[in-house]
């Protein structure tokens, strides 16, 4: 086996050879620190002639450490329950999400339009897949192949019909029979679903998305037909709080919450400008400049995903965290689910199989902020007052009875 073929799993923990040539980071922390530390060479101005916009390299985004960490944790562990990016316009939220395109990990993907997977047959029998796949399965042909996670963006002005799916008009006309067309949610299965300006989305659409995200599946009923689809996706939402609120119930459904600020440091701002300028001048040049590191980051993420199932959270680490949540007055159980899953992802990225209190500490702000509801606190306080009043009145009543 040559040096280049060495996989991360084969490298001993203490090995100095671990991908040294490809990139200088071995942990998520090093990766994040590395991002801000590189200066571009002087750019040669060149007109870019591209029909398709290419993604800005993730590693070229200056600063915004917490946003980048949240997005990477979401790639490593889909169980963190989604990511909400909150901040004003022009703070690279959408750029950061799209920049994930080149570092997305690989998953087992269906080869069929209807998204049939071998596990459907294991759980629901042969009738759980479409006739084509049932035939293939009988012939011993594969129903799935490894494929990259995709970034699915919810288009602006999307309709509920597009989101959940509806009658496939073309099939109805051509074949005189009705079939349900897969919606965006079904296409988002095992992918990332990005919704920009989520606070401006219609209530029925956002409810459908959140229900599907919570269940990992959803059923569509159209005319006499119904179909159930898998929808296990990592939801990424972004919003500008100046443009409207997000209902508290919706806010609670997001695992990690990142407050994205503009860059404060003038040096960082200039560096960010230089990179954006270099990108506009020649997209492919900037992408090529980061290629090796981006490939290294993609490998780190893939290997962290494989490591994740081995990561254990000991009770003695978890218990103080639960007490802290109680102390903060947070009711939602999603707080600890997100907090613990994000910590496991962080430990996995570090190549460890046990969560430490430090892991919990790093991801705590993202998992716990904006969880305490002013309404609920007020509600409980009002309840206490009401209860006391009732007890007092009842005592009075008892005295009168006697």
CB of 131 to Zn ion, least distance (A): 8
Q: CB under 5 A: which stretch of 40-48, 113-121, 272-280, 316-324 binds Zn ion? A: 113-121
Active-site residue identified among 182, 334, 352, 371: 334
How many Å apart are CA 289 and CA 96, to the nearest integer? 18
127 versus 361: smaller Cβ distance to Zn ion = 127
Reply yes or no on whether 372 is catalytic: no
- 67 with 258: CB under 8 angstroms? yes
Rounded Cα distance between 195 and 99, Å, is 15
Closest separation between CB of residue 104 and Zn ion, Å? 24
Mark the segment that binds Zn ion (CB under 5 A) among 109-117, 177-185, 192-200, 242-250: 109-117
CB count in 10 Å sphere of residue 336: 17
Identify the burial level of 286 via C-beta atoms within 10 angstroms of its C-beta, where 0-12 means exposed, 13-18 middle and 19 or more buried.
buried
Tell the smallest beta-carbon distance from residue 181 to Zn ion (Å): 14
Per DSSP, the chain holds a count of helices (H) and strands (E) of 17, 11
Residues 6+ apart with CB under 8 A from 129: 112, 114, 116, 117, 120, 121, 137, 143
> Which of 18, 24, 114, 337 touches Zn ion by CB under 5 A?
114
Residue number with CB closer to Zn ion (182 or 253): 182
In whole angstroms, give the CA distance from residue 95 to residue 252: 25
Token digits for 91? 């703070």
Interface with Zn ion (CB under 5 A), residue total 5
Which residue from 229, 235, 232 is spatially nearest to 165, judged by alpha carbons? 229
Residues 123-182 touching Zn ion, rule: CB under 5 A, are: 130, 133
Q: What does DSSP say about strands 256-259 and 83-86: parallel, antiparallel, or unpaired?
A: parallel
Encoded one letter per residue, x for contact with Zn ion by CB under 5 A and - for no contact, window 57-96 reads ----------------------------------------
Instruction: Provide the minimum distance between the beta carbon of 132 and Zn ion in the complex, in angstroms, as a whole number.
Output: 5
Of 116, 308, 342, 349, the one binding Zn ion (CB under 5 A) is 116
Instruction: Tell how strand 225-230 and strand 217-222 pair up.
Output: antiparallel
112 lies in the binding site for Zn ion (CB under 5 A):
yes
* Closer to Zn ion by Cβ: residue 182 or 275: 182
Minimum distance of Zn ion from residue 141's CB (angstroms):
11
CB nearer to Zn ion: give 129 or 317: 129
Tokens of 200: 């401006």
β-pairing, 165-167 vs 180-182, is antiparallel
Footprint of Zn ion (CB under 5 A): 112, 114, 116, 130, 133
Catalytic residue annotation: 334
């Amino acid at each position: 086996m040559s040096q280049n073929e060495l996989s991360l799993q084969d490298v001993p923990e203490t090995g100095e050879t671990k991908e040294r040539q490809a990139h200088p980071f071995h942990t998520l922390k090093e990766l994040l620190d590395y991002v801000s530390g590189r200066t571009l060479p002087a750019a040669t101005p060149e007109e870019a002639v591209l029909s398709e916009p290419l993604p800005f390299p993730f590693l070229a985004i200056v600063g915004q450490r917490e946003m980048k960490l949240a997005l990477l944790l979401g790639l490593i562990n889909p169980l963190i329950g989604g990511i909400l990016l909150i901040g004003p316009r022009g703070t690279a939220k959408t750029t950061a999400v799209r920049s994930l395109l080149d570092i997305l990990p690989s998953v087992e993907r269906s080869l069929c339009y209807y998204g049939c997977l071998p596990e459907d047959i294991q759980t629901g029998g042969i009738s759980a897949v479409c006739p084509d796949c049932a035939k293939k399965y009988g012939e011993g042909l594969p129903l799935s192949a490894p494929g990259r996670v995709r970034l699915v963006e919810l288009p602006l002005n999307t309709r509920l019909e597009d989101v959940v799916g509806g009658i496939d008009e073309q099939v109805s006309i051509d074949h005189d029979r009705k079939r349900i067309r897969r919606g965006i949610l079904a296409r988002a299965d095992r992918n990332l679903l990005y919704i920009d300006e989520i606070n401006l989305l219609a209530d029925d659409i956002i409810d459908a998305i959140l229900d599907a995200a919570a269940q990992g599946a959803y059923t569509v009923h159209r005319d006499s037909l119904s179909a159930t689809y898998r929808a296990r996706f990592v939801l990424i939402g972004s919003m500008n709080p100046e443009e409207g609120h997000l209902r508290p119930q919706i806010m609670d459904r997001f695992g990690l919450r990142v407050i994205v600020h503009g860059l404060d440091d003038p040096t960082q701002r200039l560096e960010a400008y230089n990179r954006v300028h270099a990108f506009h001048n020649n997209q492919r040049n900037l992408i090529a400049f980061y290629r090796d590191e981006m490939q290294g980051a993609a490998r780190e993420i893939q290997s962290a995903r494989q490591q994740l199932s081995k990561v254990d959270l000991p009770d003695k680490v978890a218990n103080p965290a639960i007490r802290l949540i109680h102390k903060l007055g947070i009711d939602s159980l999603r707080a600890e689910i997100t907090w613990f899953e994000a910590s496991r992802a962080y430990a996995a990225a570090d190549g460890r199989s046990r969560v430490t209190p430090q892991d919990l500490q790093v991801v705590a702000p993202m998992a716990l902020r904006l969880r305490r509801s002013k309404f609920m606190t007020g509600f409980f306080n009002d309840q206490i007052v009401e209860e006391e009043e009732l007890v007092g009145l009842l005592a009075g009543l008892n005295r009168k009875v006697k």
